[in-house]
């Protein structure tokens, strides 16, 4: 522990597994207190038990698309860990389809979670940050926020919009000491990606094909995204605002033949 986040009280969504869990672990190691929110209450409870941080971690099961539920969770966070001065909007869902085959329910759920959910959390956290004279919001975006892969509709639309939300809030509340930034990972070795590789007839080849897309021949580990999140939510970058940090091993700037 280096106490880079000492004094930070962070509300983190989608914390039960993958990138969210890695961010939780990294923030704890750096001295933060956390309130963790995830839809899967049982999975989240196991994660909290494994993190083993005692009173520095509180948690609740909840759906970020439910604005009233998010407000209640934020109030619960303030009671348990104190006034929230850091928000990491990590929760999201993958909905991949072709445009004309996308159902109304797929469209609604994609935007309810990936965009409206982040806004619900911002709306709950920002008043307290403004009243306290400052805070930091980090939205976990994606390289889908800048590029379009065919047959991944409507997920990239919501992630493009998340960057717009980041910029709008950053400019609106900069004068009140609140920074709002985004972190855009590329491929990360999470269970979701492992499950995706396993859906192919040859999972080993599918994994190899993904690795081969990248200049370094590998994809990110969740811990590598987590340490970028620690930097961005910390006070080490006080003049970073309305910015998006891309962490994808160079994939998004590689022109494939």
Q: Supply 33's token pair.
A: 């207190």
- The verdict on whether 155 is a catalytic residue reads yes
* Catalytic site residue from 11, 153, 155, 187: 155
Q: Are 140 and 182 in contact (CB under 8 A)?
A: yes
Pairing of strands 57-61, 33-38: parallel
Helix (H/G/I), strand (E/B), else coil: 221: coil
Q: Are 27 and 225 in contact (CB under 8 A)?
A: no
User: What does R_g of the chain's alpha carbons equal in angstroms?
Assistant: 18
CA 18/CA 5 separation, integer angstroms: 21
CA 88/CA 24 separation, integer angstroms: 10
- The DSSP code sequence of 182-212 is EEEE--B--HHHHHHHHTSSSHHHHHHHHHH
Spell out the residues 6+ positions from residue 119 whose beta carbon is closer than 8 angstroms to its own: 165
Helix (H/G/I), strand (E/B), else coil: 155: helix
Q: Which residues are catalytic?
A: 155
């Amino acid at each position: 522990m280096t106490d880079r986040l000492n004094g930070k009280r962070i509300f983190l969504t989608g914390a039960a597994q993958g990138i969210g869990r890695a961010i939780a672990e990294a923030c704890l190691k750096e001295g933060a207190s956390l309130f963790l929110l995830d839809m899967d209450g049982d999975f989240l409870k196991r994660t909290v038990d494994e993190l083993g941080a005692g009173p520095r971690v509180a948690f609740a099961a909840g759906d970020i698309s439910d604005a009233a539920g998010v407000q209640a969770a934020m109030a619960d966070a303030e009671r348990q860990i104190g006034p929230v001065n850091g928000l990491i909007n990590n929760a999201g869902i993958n909905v991949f389809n072709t445009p004309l085959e996308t159902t109304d329910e797929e469209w609604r759920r994609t935007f309810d979670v990936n965009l409206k959910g982040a806004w619900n959390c911002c709306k709950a956290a920002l008043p307290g940050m403004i009243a306290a004279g400052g805070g930091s919001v980090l939205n976990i975006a994606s390289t889908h926020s800048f590029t379009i892969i065919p047959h991944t509709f409507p997920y990239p639309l919501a992630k493009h919009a998340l960057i717009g939300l980041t910029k709008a809030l950053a400019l609106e509340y900069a004068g009140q000491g609140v920074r709002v930034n985004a972190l855009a990972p590329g491929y990360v070795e999470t269970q979701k990606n492992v499950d995706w590789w396993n859906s192919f007839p040859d999972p080993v080849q599918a994994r190899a094909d993904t690795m081969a897309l990248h200049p370094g021949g590998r994809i990110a580990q969740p811990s590598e995204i987590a340490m970028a999140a620690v930097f961005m939510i910390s006070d080490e970058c006080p003049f970073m605002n309305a910015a998006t940090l891309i962490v994808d091993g160079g994939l998004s700037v590689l022109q494939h033949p």
